[in-house]
Chain A
Amino acid sequence: MAVKTFTIDGQAVTAEETDTILQAATDAGIKIPTLCHLDGLGDVGACRLCITEVSGTNKLLPACVTKVSEGMEIKTNSERIQKYRRMILELLFAERNHVCSVCVANRHCELQTLAEEHGMMSVRFPYQYPNTTVDASHDWFILDHNRCVLCTRCVRVCDEVEGAHVWDVMGRGTNSRVITDLNQPWGDSETCTSCSKCVQVCPTGALSSKGKSVAEMVKKRDFLPYLMATREEKI
């Protein structure tokens, strides 16, 4: 396998040609913020928080789905990138009804942590206040569209790891919603195995365990790398 040499934030880095910028940066100890990415799941570049500046193009490229190449000069934290990352976060907050103070995932939410890390003090865009619903038909879990950022981690974990493919995305643009089966209530789903993987990988309070009060929903995400490592060993 060919090895590529390039720089990230001025640091010389070597990685395999199949690696993404995100993998190479992580291996080199350089942190790039992510939201839709989760180790163990395939990447889709949905959230764009991992955007990077790469020499030779004016486009900002998502680190999670961009492969490394020879001689690349990558910047992961320029002023321009910071500006856009903050904007992306503000747009995510404006798009749905994220009310951290009364959310089950308060203090345990990746979106909230990212906003804090990026110094997002306020949202400059008008809140959309969509009239979204809560699906509590499942015996153990709740889906709250108000808190969903459409990262599709639930869709991918259910398809790639659990193999049930209960979740999907329906609609376009701001009307996009994650759905179970053919847009049936979650509790009526015939394919759901109630394994809770989707709940654990969800970065926000969109998927939670029933009965949890505010700030009580702590996600256990470490199961995924462990599970994937075990499976690979077996193969």
Chain B
Amino acid sequence: MSKQILIDPVTRIEGHSKITIHLNDDGSVRDAQFHVTQFRGFEKFCEGRPFSEMPALTGRTCGICPVSHLIASAKACDQLLAVEIPPTAAKLRRIMNLAQIVQSHALSFFHLSSPDLLFGMDATPEKRNIVGVMELRPSLARDGIALRKFGQEIIALLGGKRIHPAWVVPGGVSNPLDPKMREQMLAMIPEMQAISLRTLTWFKTLLEQFREEIRTFGNFPSMFMGLVTPQTNGEHNALLDHYDGKLRFIDASGNIVLDQIDPTKYNDYIAESVESFTYLKSPYFKPLGYPEGIYRVGPLARLNIIDRCGTPLADKEWTEFRALRRGVILSSFHQHYARLIEILYGIERIEQLLNESDILDKNVRAIAKPSRSEGIGVSEAPRGTLMHHYKIDENGLITWVNMIIATGHNNLAMNQSVKQVAQHYVRSERLQEGMLNRVEAVIRSYDPCLSCSTHALGKMPLHIQLLGSQGDVIDEVKR
């Protein structure tokens, strides 16, 4: 290795990270690594706390997707209580989880990635940001804001707060749904559906323009994992299931490797590896070992593993999406596409759930004392499968925590994607904004949630250094 290019920090993602690109003597890219540079320590400092605090405590992991943590955590706590929560509570949790997915996907697509899509990867950074989008295509920016608002409004109507509602609790939810609020939610649905459909139409017109990116943005064979609806008797049609369900693993050809796996048995199939260059662990599929056991989670994985979505409009879009190529869709660029289909699905499914006959039922919480010493909660967060695993002592105090976050599952895939894009676009003799932006953009396609803090939104400077073998700066780009 003679040279190294450093992208620090990576911009327009949620959290703090950097990318290093290692060059051969001839200037070609030898390797690229995605470093997560922040350390949180949640698994450690939760020890000693009462288990009943865990949903709200772990919800603080993230300001974008606190609801995902609330849900997975509350499910783990339900197991500790050994209760089956009231059906209405499960439906209300589902609604909040879907609202969370809609708002988070909207943030990823419109606020973070649409500048790349609208202006192109080579546009100047001064233009290629959300303010630029507002100037050039205000309707697009407004649509993004409206969708995000819709998701957050539902979260606020259910839980009292847009961010960090303490409403999802062990045993169910703390308050039933108010009929007036149900009407407010239903009233928003038609407009949101229209927005989501017209955004899909617009996105599909871009596919031709981004052919090269589609071909090179994390386009490689890997396994995919996610939750699907549980099999009941008879023929099984695996549908999207973001709240509950069973794990399904498929290979790069779309063959089902494992199906209907009880998520609480995740430990039998997934192990975590640690690399010295990043604080983010690298989970892998145990039977294939490390690092061969690479798999992807998230919107693309979910749309790859299912037999259909389960709502009419989303199913139609999904059929068109899956027809892009034979077998499964491998390019990570299509995470954007998958995200838009999931937004549509989320809106449709929220409407279905709100119209269920028992949705206003007042019985929404099971009260019990902890009866098990170990609990595992698994749900689908916007970025993929989220796992919370707790152990408690005889008094209900936490003794051990393991959290596998969606972005973690994708760590190996993100590293491979960065390398693929760097090898295709980066030439050391001429550092150009566009090529390095593509390296960042492939990371953005995964919508990684690294710190789960929102303050980094488009405001952080990008600093890229091309370093010689002695650490001397050969070239530098700042913005």
Residues on A lying within 8 angstroms of B by beta carbon are: 101-102, 104, 106, 133-134, 136-137, 142, 144, 187, 210-216
Contact = CB atoms under 8 A, between A and B. Distances in A.
Given A133-B48, A210-B396, A216-B174, A104 B53 contact: yes
B462 to A, nearest CB: 31
Contacts of A104: 52-53
A215 B70 CA distance: 14
Given A101-B164, A102-B57, A212 B48 contact: no
Contacts of A133: 48
Nearest 10 interchain pairs by C-beta: A214-B56, A136-B395, A213-B169, A214-B166, A215-B166, A102-B57, A213-B52, A136-B397, A211-B52, A137-B395
Contact of A101 (B52, B55, B60): B60
B50 interface: yes
Contact of A136 (B55, B166, B367, B396): B396
Contact of B56 (A102, A136, A137): A102
Nearest to A135: B395
B170 interface: yes
Contacts of A144: 50
Nearest to A187: B395
Given A211-B170, A214-B53, 11 more contacts: A101-B56, A101-B164, A104-B52, A134-B49, A187-B395, A213-B53, A213-B166, A213-B169, A213-B170, A213-B174, A215-B166
A102 B169 contact: no
Contacts of B164: 101
A213 B55 contact: yes
Contacts of A214: 53, 55-57, 166
B369 interface: yes
Contacts of A136: 50, 395-397
5 contacts: A101-B60, A102-B53, A213-B52, A213-B166, A216-B174
A216 B164 CA distance: 14
Contacts of B52: 104, 210-213
B25 to A, nearest CB: 50
Q: Which of A133, A144, A211, A213 has the most CB of B within 10 A?
A: A213
B96 to A, nearest CB: 15
B180 to A, nearest CB: 23
A131 to B, nearest CB: 10
Nearest to B161: A215
A215 B367 CA distance: 17
Interface in B43-73: 48-50, 52-53, 55-57, 60
Nearest to B395: A136
Contacts of B48: 133-134
A215 B369 contact: no
Contacts of B50: 134, 136, 142, 144, 210
B369 A216 contact: no
Contacts of A216: 166, 169, 174
Nearest to A215: B166
Nearest to A133: B48
A61 B397 CA distance: 42
Interface string B174-211: 10000000000000000000000000000000000000
Looking at A101, A104, A210, A211, which has the most chain B CB atoms within 10 Å of its CB? A211
B403 to A, nearest CB: 16
Contacts of B174: 213, 216
A141 B53 CA distance: 14
Contacts of B55: 213-214
Interface in B8-53: 48-50, 52-53
Contacts of B53: 102, 104, 213-214
Most B CB within 10 A of own CB, among A102, A133, A212, A215: A102
A101 B166 CA distance: 10
Contacts of B60: 101-102
A67 to B, nearest CB: 43
Q: Give the one of B57, B164, B166, B170 with max A CB within 10 A.
A: B166
A102 B42 CA distance: 13
Nearest to A136: B395
A215 B161 CA distance: 13
A16 B53 CA distance: 48
A144 B53 CA distance: 12
A5 B20 CA distance: 78
A123 B367 CA distance: 38
A109 to B, nearest CB: 14
A177 B117 CA distance: 59
Nearest to A102: B57
Nearest to B171: A211
A137 B52 CA distance: 15
B118 to A, nearest CB: 37
A134 B369 CA distance: 18
Contacts of A134: 48-50, 397
Interface string B391-425: 00001110000000000000000000000000000
A140 to B, nearest CB: 10
A212 B55 CA distance: 11
Nearest to B396: A136
A211 B370 CA distance: 9
Contacts of A187: 395
Contacts of A215: 56, 166
Interface string B373-398: 00000000000000000000001110
A229 to B, nearest CB: 33
Nearest to A104: B53
Nearest to A211: B52
A211 B53 CA distance: 8
B34 to A, nearest CB: 30
A56 B55 CA distance: 55
A144 B397 CA distance: 11
B369 to A, nearest CB: 7
A214 B164 CA distance: 11
A213 B60 CA distance: 14
A137 B50 CA distance: 11
A137 to B, nearest CB: 5
A196 B369 CA distance: 18
A208 to B, nearest CB: 8
B470 to A, nearest CB: 41
A212 B367 CA distance: 10
A104 B60 CA distance: 14
